[in-house]
Amino acid sequence: MVKVERKKDLLKWFLFSRIKNDISYSTLLKKTGGNGKGYLDRYFVLHRNYIIYYKPGKTDSKPEDNQEPQGYINLGECVYEETKNLSKTQPLTFQITTKIGRVYYIKAKDDKTIETFLFLIRSRIQTLSNLTIQSLGNTEENLKNISNLLPRSMKLPDRVKPDSATKWIMEMSSYYESYREWEPYLMKLDQFSELCHGETKEYVDWFVGSEGPRLSMIRCEELVLENWNEFIKKTNSEINTYEETRFFNEDFQDIIKHLKNMVLLIDSYNLYMRQCHHKTVKYVDKYLEEKSYFVQQLDKYSKMPTMSSIHFGSHLEQVQGTIKGTYFTTTHQENDIDSKTNSEQEQTSSNGIVESREKYEEWKFSENCLINVDNEEKGQEHWRFSNGFFRNERLGDVMWNNKTWVWSHPKTDYKIRFDWDSVSNSFVYFQPRTTASISISLHGSQSKLSFSKKPHPTTVYADWRLSKNNILLHSVVIGNKSKPMFIDLEVQGIVPLPAMLIVAMSYHIKEALEHFNLLSPTQK
């Protein structure tokens, strides 16, 4: 047997209290003793590039903290092929052979322990076969460089805003490059007990552990990119709803900013994947269809008219005219039964005669003001236009952006909307989803606010078609659309489209306000 000299400084180095928290594997085995002592119980531990064995302690066979080992085996000095299982010839026995010819015979309690222990030490012997401490160069200087590039204090975010995306990508790209460059070196350094101690051990343990840069970068990447994914998908699913409540360029400023951020996030997402993972995967850009759609909508929203740009005619053209609305009223008259013949009596009811009369209502438009001529002195139906809105203090507001007409009132969330279709020369009613409405009204001399929750009217209003010569606005009643009060509107002079529709819908606006108790029947 070749005798191996045990270095006293290493025996002190392997004091159990010093290495007990730096052990890959440990188990109680039997090892041949010197001077023909046979097999002796020893507590074996695998510590980086060493197998170390101790006399068993009193508690669970673990050595005492102040206990030095009986010996050690440097795995960098072992022969891979000759470190093997001998169970075929010697039951539950394996051997470890060094390059100088020393053979350690070791017995285990079962085959599984041998398989596990041999697998671990053979893997480590193979790793150390072409590796020496000298090949790692100036470890102190190298570690200083690495810790500057990948500091233990690195804090990675779980959210990154679009305006910070480029900076974050550059930082992550730098981290990944540094990690790829130095990870092999630190994995080699991690093999040696002689090098892995003190601050070096703390840094290496952090680097290869669950809180190290690799897993930290993966967690950060997953959180940030998933957050970006959610934003992009959510925007794509909701973008069609943006125009339901926004009609002017001013209304779209927040959406324009948001869509620009979404385009930036898509570009940043693809840049990140190309920049940080180009060496590991062949990446194909994502969300290109969504980006194209966002850009298209951005262009559309940016071109929406401003409120101040909505006007009628030009400074050289006087916009004024009149609108005459035709409608019918019905009355009941008592029948003079004695004076009628039998045939006449059969054609009438016993209670009265229904008589229908054609009536007219006249409006005028002048100087950006629409007025009901019949109520001109009372001033109750004066609609004055400014910055995209016709306003009436009692009846509410009508918004017009050259395409969409919307009536609203500040004390209810119910709205009536029409969209102008230039192809059919028609106002087309936009049917909303039926919902409940919260209305606010004033009662009594104390002017207290009263809240009432009522369902929205279910009326499906008729469309309105303008004749080609722009002198007749006629109702279009098809399907489930309700018949309006006016049959048609006759226009003389120049009257803006939204003003025509206000006249056509004036009765229904008052009807809606009465529904929410915001207007009494006598005020209609």
Which of these ranges, 249-263, 350-364, 365-379, 383-397, has the smallest mean pLDDT?
Answer: 350-364
Do residue 297 and residue 382 come from a single domain?
no
In degrees and rounded to multiples of 5, residue 439 shows phi and psi of: -110, 145
Residue 313 lies in a domain: no
- Above 90 in pLDDT, residue 176? yes
Question: Quick one: pLDDT band at residue 346, thresholds 50, 70, 90?
Answer: very low
DSSP per residue over 209-229, as a string? Answer: STTSHHHHHHHHHHHHHHHHH
Which of these ranges, 142-156, 269-283, 420-434, 467-481, has the smallest mean pLDDT?
Answer: 269-283
- Above 60 in pLDDT, residue 439? no
In degrees and rounded to multiples of 5, residue 405 shows phi and psi of: -115, 125
* Contacts by residues 513-522 (CB-CB < 8 Å, ≥ 24 positions apart): 513/395, 513/396, 513/409, 513/412, 515/454, 515/457, 516/411, 516/412, 516/414, 516/437, 516/439, 516/441, 516/452, 516/454, 517/439, 517/441, 517/452, 518/409, 518/411, 518/412, 518/439, 518/441, 519/394, 519/395
pLDDT digits (tens, 9 = 90+) for 440-460: 444 444 444 444 567 899 999
Residue 2 lies in a domain: no
Residue 39 lies in a domain: yes
- Among 72, 94, 128, where does a domain finish? 128
Question: Quick one: pLDDT band at residue 60, thresholds 50, 70, 90?
Answer: confident
Report d(CA 17, CA 11) in Å as an integer.
12
Residue length of the chain: 524
What pLDDT, on a 0 to 100 scale, did the predictor assign at position 315? 61
Do residue 324 and residue 463 come from a single domain?
yes
CA distances from 507 to 365, 390, 500, 519 (A): 18, 16, 13, 12
- Cα 31 vs. chain centroid, distance in angstroms? 62
Residue 312 lies in a domain: no
Residue 310 lies in a domain: no
pLDDT digits (tens, 9 = 90+) for 106-133: 999 999 999 999 999 999 999 999 899 9
For the domain that residue 98 is a member of, what is the CATH number?
2.30.29.30
- Among 258, 280, 304, where does a domain finish? 304
pLDDT, averaged across the chain = 89
What pLDDT, on a 0 to 100 scale, did the predictor assign at position 210? 86
Which of these ranges, 93-97, 139-143, 314-318, has the smallest mean pLDDT?
Answer: 314-318
Do residue 397 and residue 500 come from a single domain?
yes
Residue 348 lies in a domain: yes
Question: Quick one: pLDDT band at residue 33, thresholds 50, 70, 90?
Answer: confident
Do residue 327 and residue 249 come from a single domain?
no
Helix (DSSP H) and strand (DSSP E) numbers for the chain: 11, 21
Do residue 15 and residue 162 come from a single domain?
no
pLDDT digits (tens, 9 = 90+) for 482-506: 999 998 999 999 999 999 999 999 9
What pLDDT, on a 0 to 100 scale, did the predictor assign at position 438? 52
Domain count of the fold of the chain:
3
Question: Quick one: pLDDT band at residue 521, thresholds 50, 70, 90?
Answer: confident
Do residue 379 and residue 445 come from a single domain?
yes
Report d(CA 23, CA 260) in Å as an integer.
54
Do residue 283 and residue 342 come from a single domain?
no
- Above 90 in pLDDT, residue 347? no
What pLDDT, on a 0 to 100 scale, did the predictor assign at position 278? 74
Residue 154 lies in a domain: yes
Do residue 147 and residue 266 come from a single domain?
yes
What pLDDT, on a 0 to 100 scale, did the predictor assign at position 282? 82
- Residues of the domain holding 443: 320-523
In degrees and rounded to multiples of 5, residue 18 shows phi and psi of: -80, -35
Which of these ranges, 346-350, 372-376, 423-427, has the smallest mean pLDDT?
Answer: 346-350
Do residue 117 and residue 236 come from a single domain?
no
Question: Quick one: pLDDT band at residue 330, thresholds 50, 70, 90?
Answer: low
- Above 50 in pLDDT, residue 416? yes
DSSP per residue over 214-282, as a string? Answer: HHHHHHHHHHHHHHHHHHHHHHHHHGGGGGGS--SGGGGHHHHHHHHHHHHHHHHHHHHHHHHHTTT--
What pairs with residue 420 in β-bridges? 427
Residue 315 lies in a domain: no
pLDDT digits (tens, 9 = 90+) for 125-160: 999 998 999 999 999 999 999 999 999 988 899 999
- Among 85, 111, 128, where does a domain finish? 128
pLDDT digits (tens, 9 = 90+) for 200-251: 999 998 998 888 999 999 999 999 999 999 999 999 999 989 988 899 999 9
Do residue 72 and residue 169 come from a single domain?
no
Do residue 117 and residue 143 come from a single domain?
no
> 172 Cβ partners below 8 Å, 6+ apart?
217, 220, 221, 272, 275, 276
Do residue 479 and residue 401 come from a single domain?
yes
- Cα 396 vs. chain centroid, distance in angstroms? 37
What pLDDT, on a 0 to 100 scale, did the predictor assign at position 7? 82
